[in-house]
Structure 1
Amino acid sequence: MASPSKDSGISLMPFFDRCKLPATVKDDCDAFVRSRYSCPVRPAPFQGYCSYTLFVGEEIAVQFRPFAHKLDIDLTRTACNIFGHLAPETEYLGQLEGTGLYAFSMRKLPGVSLADHRALSSKRSGREQIVRDFAQLQALAWQKARCAEELLDEKRTVGSSLSSRLELMSASLPLRFRRFASSLLGDISEIEALPWVFTHGDLQPSNICVNAYSGKLTGLLDWAEAEWLPFGIGMYGLEELLGEDNLDGQFVYYPEARRLRHMFWKQVMLLIPELARDSKKVSLTMKAQKLGILLWHGIAFDDGNLNRVVEEGNANDNREIQRLAVFLSHSSSTNQLKMRKISISPISPLTRIRSFLPGKV
C-alpha cells in the first residue's frame, strides 16, 4: 500500500457489507493483526473496493480479502521479479476463522496515489513524468515476455478467453461500439501471437503510486487481477493517464493529451528497439491496446464476475460506457478540446509508426 494520503477512498463498512459480514468483524481483523505485530496498527486512510487494509508501523500494510479477490502469492512474486520495487513483496498470513477473509502482509509503497497527486498538483511536468514511467513499465514487461505456447496452463480469466469475449462484445455491446470489437475479432489470432507479458489487472489512479513532488512512478498496488496477456493489452491504462474526471464525473482528456500520447509511443520505441523495427508488430500492439480498452471497460466488473457486457441505460455501467466513448474515439465527449499539432523529428523512432497513430487526441 502507499503511504498515508488524503484519498477519500471507500469507507470501511461497505466492504464488510459486501462480504455479508457483521461490522464486528472489523475488530476481529484488527485483533488478528495486533496479535502478530508489536508496532502500532491503524486502518489505512483510504480503502479499496475489494479489501480492508491496516497499516502496521511505517513499513507494512496488511490486507483482508474475500476468496473471490484473494491474492495469488505466485503472481505477486512474479510481479516483484519483473517490476522490482514497483510491486510490493507480499506474504500470506492465514485465514480469519469463520469469516472467509484471507490476510496478506506487504511492503508499503512510498509516495501517494496518483489520484491524490492530481488533487494536490496540476503541473504538466507531473503528467509527462507518469507517461514516461508508464512507457518504462511496458519495457520492463517486454524484457520478461513469454510466448503463448509456454503459458497454456498459466492463462487466467482474461487470457484464456480473448476470442470468446470479443465475440460476446461484437454481438452485445451498445451498437456504437460493436464495430471496434468486430474489427479486432479478425485480428485476434495475430494479437495472440504477440509476446505475452505480465499485466496489471486494475490500472486506475488509486492503484498507481507516485512521488508527491515529482509525480514519478513509485509503485503499483493491487495485483489480484494480474495475468499474462499479449503485449499491448496492458496499455489500456495509458488512457487514464491522459485525462481525468471533471466535476460531473465525466472523463475528459487533458489539453496536451495528444502530445503525451505521441511521447508515450516515442518512449516505447526508444526503450524497445526490436519493436520499433517491426512496423507490423507495432500496428498489432496498437490494436491490442484497443482490445485492452474494450476488455476493461466493455465487460462489467459485477464484483469480479466479468461475464456481462456493459449495457446502455444501466446506471451501474454509465462510467464505463462514457470511458469507452472517449477512449475509442480519442476525443472528450463532454468537452471537445483543441489540440495543437506536434511535429515529430524524422530521426525519431516514432517516425516509423506515424501512419498508425490516430489523427485525434
Structure 2
Amino acid sequence: MDNSMARLRAYQISQFFSPDNRPTQQECDEFAERVTEQKSAPTLVQGGSSYTVVAGDFVLQFRAPNAGLDLEFLGYIEQTYQGFMPIHSDLGMFKGLWVYKMRNVGGVSFYLARDSLYANDCLLLRQTIKDFARFFASAWHNTPKTLPLPDRHLLLSKYTTQLSLLSSGLPTRFHPILNRLVPRLPDILSDDWPLVPNHIDLLENSIHADPTTGRLTGICDWADTEISPFGMSVGGVENILGIPKCGDNGENRRTDHVYHDNHRELRRLFYDELYGVMGSVSERDRERVETARLVGLFLGSAWRYDGDGKQLPAGEGDYSLQYVEDVLMGSCEGYDG
C-alpha cells in the first residue's frame, strides 16, 4: 500500500471514531475477534461512514447509526449477483454502531492489483474483464421477479429532466450526444427492457481481483445501489481499462482518465463476452445497452456540487467533466470533443 493510500485510510478511520459517543477502534477490533475467533485487522480500503476489518474468512463492517444497510434489499442484490458479492448478515448494534458480517471475497482491490493485471500486455487483465462481463450478465439472467421496481414513467420523467439540465448546463460540445440520448430514453424504460439492481459506484476499490490469476473475486460496497435499466452501470469497465493520472501544463494541474494502449481491443473482449453470456442479443438490444451506458455515464459523473451541496452540471476544470470527456473519446466512435 502506497503512502497516499495509507494516509487516506488513517484519516478515514480517525474521522469515523472521532464522535465522542462512539466505541474506540480497539473495542471494535476486539468485538470482531470475539465474533469470528480470528485475529482482525483494518481492511486496506475504508469508507466515509463505516469501519471495516478482515478476520480470516470473514469481514465485519461497523456502520454509523444513520448508515445502516437495508438487508431485505441486499437480499435481492445477492440473488442477482450470486457468486460475485458477499452475503451479509446482521449482527445488530455494538455500542451504537450497526455491525454486519460477510464472507471475505478474497483478492485485493483493483487499485492494488493493477500492476500485476496490466503486466505482459494485460495478460491477466483479460481474465478480469471476462469475469466482469459475466458479472453484468448475471443481472440479465438472475434478477428476481419479486424485486420491487420503481415506476418506469417516473424514471423516464426523472432522467429526461436530468439530461435536459445537463444539456443546458454543460459545454456545448456535449449537447449533440445529450440531445440524441433524450429521445432514446423510452427504449430503455419500456416494459420489455429489464430493470435491475445497478452498482453505481464501480470504482477500483469496489472491484476485487486475484493478482496472481486475474480472476474477479467479488464486488464490494453495495450501499450505493439503485434499480434502473440494465446497462446503466456497464460503463464501470472503463475504470479498469484506464487510470486517473495527474498532469501539469505549466498553468494548472488536471487529472485525466488515461487508457491502456490496447483499451479498444480489451473493450471488444468485454462486450463480446457480455453479449455471449447474455445470449440471443439482437442489434436493438446492443443499441439499448449502449444508450443505457451513456445515460449512466452522464447521470453518474457529469455533475459538481456547490458549497451548499446542491447538484449542478459540471464545468470546465472539474475532474468529473474531464472523466466524462475522456470516456467518450475513448469509447465512442466518432466523438472527438
TM-score normalized by structure 2?
Answer: 0.81
1:358 aligns with 2:328: no
Closer/same/farther in 2, CA of residues 158 and 85 from structure 1, 3 Å limit: farther
In structure 1, the residue corresponding to 2:29 is in which secondary structure?
helix
Per-residue Cα deviation, 1:57-87 (whole angstroms, up to 9, x for no partner): x111111223554322123322322222211
Aligned to 2:320: 320
The equivalent position to 1:95 in structure 2, one of 93, 96, 103, is 93
Identity among equivalent pairs (%) = 25
Out of 116-125 and 141-150, give the one that drifted further.
141-150
Q: How does 1:1-361 map to 2 (within 5 A)?
A: 8=5, 10-15=8-13, 17=15, 21-22=19-20, 25-34=24-33, 36-56=35-55, 58-66=56-64, 69-98=67-96, 101-123=97-119, 124-145=122-143, 151-152=149-150, 161-193=158-190, 194-246=193-245, 248=247, 249-275=255-281, 278-300=282-304, 308-312=311-315, 318-330=318-330, 358=333
- AA aligned to 2:29 is D
In structure 1, the residue corresponding to 2:233 is in which secondary structure?
helix
- 1:358 offset after TM fit, Å? 2.4
Structure 2 unaligned blocks of 5 or more: 248-254
- AA aligned to 1:192 is L
- 1:121 offset after TM fit, Å? 4.5
Structure 1 unaligned blocks of 5 or more: 332-356
- AA aligned to 2:60 is V
Alpha-carbon RMSD: 3.4
TM-score normalized by structure 1?
Answer: 0.77
Asked if structure 2 preserves the Cα contact closer than 8 Å seen for 1:231 and 1:285, the reply is: yes
- AA aligned to 1:102 is W
- AA aligned to 2:270 is F
Asked if structure 2 preserves the Cα contact closer than 8 Å seen for 1:159 and 1:228, the reply is: no
Asked if structure 1 preserves the Cα contact closer than 8 Å seen for 2:198 and 2:233, the reply is: yes
In structure 1, the residue corresponding to 2:275 is in which secondary structure?
helix
Asked if structure 1 preserves the Cα contact closer than 8 Å seen for 2:133 and 2:271, the reply is: yes
CA distance in 1, matches of 2:54, 2:276: 39
Closer/same/farther in 2, CA of residues 320 and 259 from structure 1, 3 Å limit: same
Closer/same/farther in 2, CA of residues 15 and 129 from structure 1, 3 Å limit: same
Closer/same/farther in 2, CA of residues 172 and 18 from structure 1, 3 Å limit: farther
Asked if structure 2 preserves the Cα contact closer than 8 Å seen for 1:236 and 1:289, the reply is: yes
Closer/same/farther in 2, CA of residues 273 and 54 from structure 1, 3 Å limit: closer
Per-residue Cα deviation, 1:4-29 (whole angstroms, up to 9, x for no partner): x7793632333553786248643443
CA distance in 2, matches of 1:68, 1:177: 38
Per-residue Cα deviation, 1:328-356 (whole angstroms, up to 9, x for no partner): 2227xxxxxxxxxxxxxxxxxxxxxxxxx
Asked if structure 1 preserves the Cα contact closer than 8 Å seen for 2:79 and 2:144, the reply is: no
